[in-house]
Amino acid sequence: MGKLWRDYNLSIVLLALFLASWLGQGIFQWFEMANEAQAHGETSTLSEFIPAFFSATFENWQSEFLQLFTMVVLTAFLIHKGSHESKDQDEKVDQTLSRIEQRLERIEQYQPQNISTNDGATPVPTAFLNGRRSGSPTPLRSTQND
Protein backbone atom coordinates (compact mmCIF):
# COMPACT_ATOMS: atom_id res chain seq x y z
CA MET A 1 0.00 0.00 0.00
CA GLY A 2 2.90 2.35 0.78
CA LYS A 3 4.43 1.77 -2.67
CA LEU A 4 1.05 2.46 -4.30
CA TRP A 5 0.79 5.78 -2.43
CA ARG A 6 4.41 6.72 -3.19
CA ASP A 7 4.08 5.95 -6.91
CA TYR A 8 0.58 7.34 -7.52
CA ASN A 9 -0.19 9.88 -4.76
CA LEU A 10 -1.03 12.67 -7.22
CA SER A 11 -3.60 10.52 -9.01
CA ILE A 12 -5.05 9.26 -5.72
CA VAL A 13 -5.44 12.78 -4.31
CA LEU A 14 -6.98 14.09 -7.54
CA LEU A 15 -9.39 11.13 -7.67
CA ALA A 16 -10.38 11.72 -4.02
CA LEU A 17 -10.96 15.43 -4.69
CA PHE A 18 -13.00 14.61 -7.79
CA LEU A 19 -15.17 12.07 -5.97
CA ALA A 20 -15.67 14.40 -2.98
CA SER A 21 -16.72 17.30 -5.21
CA TRP A 22 -18.99 15.04 -7.28
CA LEU A 23 -20.61 13.67 -4.13
CA GLY A 24 -21.03 17.22 -2.82
CA GLN A 25 -22.66 18.26 -6.08
CA GLY A 26 -25.06 15.31 -5.82
CA ILE A 27 -26.02 16.07 -2.22
CA PHE A 28 -26.67 19.76 -2.81
CA GLN A 29 -28.51 19.07 -6.05
CA TRP A 30 -30.72 16.54 -4.23
CA PHE A 31 -31.58 19.13 -1.56
CA GLU A 32 -32.32 21.73 -4.23
CA MET A 33 -34.55 19.32 -6.13
CA ALA A 34 -36.34 18.21 -2.96
CA ASN A 35 -36.99 21.81 -1.90
CA GLU A 36 -38.33 22.68 -5.34
CA ALA A 37 -40.61 19.63 -5.39
CA GLN A 38 -41.83 20.43 -1.88
CA ALA A 39 -42.62 24.01 -2.92
CA HIS A 40 -44.92 22.57 -5.59
CA GLY A 41 -46.50 20.07 -3.21
CA GLU A 42 -44.76 17.08 -4.82
CA THR A 43 -42.19 14.56 -3.63
CA SER A 44 -38.82 14.12 -5.28
CA THR A 45 -37.84 10.69 -6.47
CA LEU A 46 -34.54 9.10 -7.29
CA SER A 47 -35.76 8.31 -10.81
CA GLU A 48 -36.17 12.05 -11.45
CA PHE A 49 -32.96 12.97 -9.66
CA ILE A 50 -30.47 10.70 -11.47
CA PRO A 51 -31.09 12.06 -15.00
CA ALA A 52 -30.99 15.62 -13.68
CA PHE A 53 -27.75 14.87 -11.79
CA PHE A 54 -25.99 13.41 -14.83
CA SER A 55 -27.28 16.21 -17.03
CA ALA A 56 -25.80 18.83 -14.67
CA THR A 57 -22.55 16.83 -14.43
CA PHE A 58 -22.12 16.63 -18.18
CA GLU A 59 -22.93 20.32 -18.58
CA ASN A 60 -20.15 21.14 -16.11
CA TRP A 61 -17.70 18.79 -17.83
CA GLN A 62 -18.59 20.19 -21.25
CA SER A 63 -17.88 23.69 -19.99
CA GLU A 64 -14.56 22.68 -18.41
CA PHE A 65 -13.35 20.69 -21.41
CA LEU A 66 -14.35 23.49 -23.78
CA GLN A 67 -12.37 25.95 -21.65
CA LEU A 68 -9.34 23.62 -21.52
CA PHE A 69 -9.50 22.89 -25.25
CA THR A 70 -9.75 26.60 -26.05
CA MET A 71 -6.74 27.39 -23.85
CA VAL A 72 -4.64 24.63 -25.43
CA VAL A 73 -5.53 25.55 -29.00
CA LEU A 74 -5.15 29.30 -28.55
CA THR A 75 -1.81 29.02 -26.73
CA ALA A 76 -0.52 26.87 -29.57
CA PHE A 77 -1.07 29.71 -32.05
CA LEU A 78 -1.09 32.97 -30.11
CA ILE A 79 1.54 34.76 -28.01
CA HIS A 80 1.42 36.33 -24.57
CA LYS A 81 5.00 37.45 -24.01
CA GLY A 82 6.60 35.75 -21.04
CA SER A 83 3.84 33.19 -20.51
CA HIS A 84 5.04 29.61 -20.06
CA GLU A 85 2.25 28.41 -22.33
CA SER A 86 3.05 30.86 -25.09
CA LYS A 87 5.00 29.92 -28.19
CA ASP A 88 7.45 32.80 -27.68
CA GLN A 89 9.20 30.51 -25.21
CA ASP A 90 10.05 28.21 -28.14
CA GLU A 91 11.94 31.05 -29.79
CA LYS A 92 13.96 31.61 -26.61
CA VAL A 93 14.75 27.91 -26.40
CA ASP A 94 15.83 27.88 -30.07
CA GLN A 95 18.12 30.88 -29.45
CA THR A 96 19.63 29.23 -26.39
CA LEU A 97 20.21 25.96 -28.25
CA SER A 98 21.85 27.86 -31.09
CA ARG A 99 24.24 29.58 -28.64
CA ILE A 100 25.08 26.24 -27.00
CA GLU A 101 25.76 24.62 -30.38
CA GLN A 102 28.07 27.50 -31.35
CA ARG A 103 29.99 27.14 -28.07
CA LEU A 104 30.33 23.38 -28.58
CA GLU A 105 31.65 23.92 -32.09
CA ARG A 106 34.27 26.35 -30.77
CA ILE A 107 35.26 23.89 -28.02
CA GLU A 108 35.53 21.04 -30.53
CA GLN A 109 37.90 23.14 -32.67
CA TYR A 110 40.37 23.37 -29.78
CA GLN A 111 40.15 19.71 -28.70
CA PRO A 112 43.27 17.54 -29.30
CA GLN A 113 43.10 14.94 -32.06
CA ASN A 114 41.56 11.58 -31.22
CA ILE A 115 43.71 8.48 -30.84
CA SER A 116 42.43 5.45 -32.68
CA THR A 117 42.52 2.10 -30.89
CA ASN A 118 43.90 -1.14 -32.26
CA ASP A 119 40.83 -3.18 -31.37
CA GLY A 120 38.45 -1.15 -33.54
CA ALA A 121 36.70 0.48 -30.56
CA THR A 122 35.58 4.06 -30.53
CA PRO A 123 38.51 6.50 -30.47
CA VAL A 124 39.29 8.04 -27.10
CA PRO A 125 40.14 11.74 -26.87
CA THR A 126 43.69 12.23 -25.63
CA ALA A 127 42.43 14.71 -23.06
CA PHE A 128 40.68 11.93 -21.17
CA LEU A 129 43.29 9.16 -21.37
CA ASN A 130 44.39 7.74 -18.01
CA GLY A 131 41.60 9.61 -16.23
CA ARG A 132 43.26 12.99 -16.75
CA ARG A 133 41.80 16.20 -18.02
CA SER A 134 43.34 18.16 -20.82
CA GLY A 135 46.54 19.74 -19.54
CA SER A 136 45.91 18.50 -16.00
CA PRO A 137 48.65 16.32 -14.48
CA THR A 138 46.37 14.99 -11.72
CA PRO A 139 43.73 12.29 -12.18
CA LEU A 140 40.06 13.13 -11.76
CA ARG A 141 38.80 12.77 -8.20
CA SER A 142 35.99 10.46 -7.25
CA THR A 143 32.73 12.16 -6.35
CA GLN A 144 31.90 9.45 -3.82
CA ASN A 145 32.60 10.03 -0.15
CA ASP A 146 35.08 7.55 1.33
Q: How many domains does the chain have?
A: 1
| Inside any domain, residue 67 | yes
| Inside any domain, residue 36 | yes
Asked if pLDDT for residue 123 goes beyond 90, the answer is no
| Inside any domain, residue 68 | yes
Q: What is the pLDDT of residues 66-83, one digit of tens each?
A: 998 888 888 777 766 666
Residue 46, CA distances (Å) to 34, 35, 51, 111, 120 in order: 10, 14, 9, 78, 78
| Inside any domain, residue 131 | no
| Inside any domain, residue 130 | no
Q: Whole-structure pTM over 0.75, yes or no?
A: no
Domain holding 54, by residue range, is 10-77
| Inside any domain, residue 40 | yes
Q: What is the pLDDT of residues 15-44, one digit of tens each?
A: 999 999 999 999 999 999 999 999 999 998
pLDDT at 29: 94
Average of pLDDT values for 47-52?
Answer: 93
| Inside any domain, residue 132 | no
37, 64 contact by CB (below 8 A): no
Average of pLDDT values for 44-49?
Answer: 90
Please give the Cα distance from 119 to 81 (Å, whole number). 55
| Inside any domain, residue 33 | yes
